[in-house]
Amino acid sequence: MSNMIRIIGIDPGLRRTGWGVIESLGNSLRFVASGTVTSDGEMDLASRLCQLHDGLADVIHAHQPHEAAVEQTFVNKDAVATLKLGQARGIAMLVPARAGLLVAEYAPNAVKKAVIGVGHGDKTQIHMMLKVLMPKATFKGNDAADALAIAICHAHNRQGLAGRLAKLAG
């Protein structure tokens, strides 16, 4: 039987970055914790990025995950907003990487497919399936729920990822 793996899912955002920690043992998933790291919208961009960095570093230190998963950014019509989201996403990838964690990336549709079975769905469906998959899960807001969904997506996909990485290394 495989060992328990603790996974942090991260839903990057400049205002609110959601995080969710689960444990995966074989096909079994267990909720550990979830929350949101926020930045002060009145501060300059660099200070806000520092707030996200420090908040995520505290979460990783507190929960000691083994692996991380981050949602990929979609491009929207507002180039400035997309660029800022990309910078927040950079922080979401940097913090776990600096902690020595494998960081996987998943498209939003892949996350939805892993959790609700189809690549398109709304937040209500994600929340409902999170409660089915992990009845003890608690989350405040969409950002924390999305982060848990990202962690679940990684738990479902990590075996194939580990095999592909082993082939590349060997």
Catalytic machinery residues: 11, 71, 143
- CA dihedral angle for residue 45, residue 51, residue 56, residue 61, rounded to 10 degrees: 150
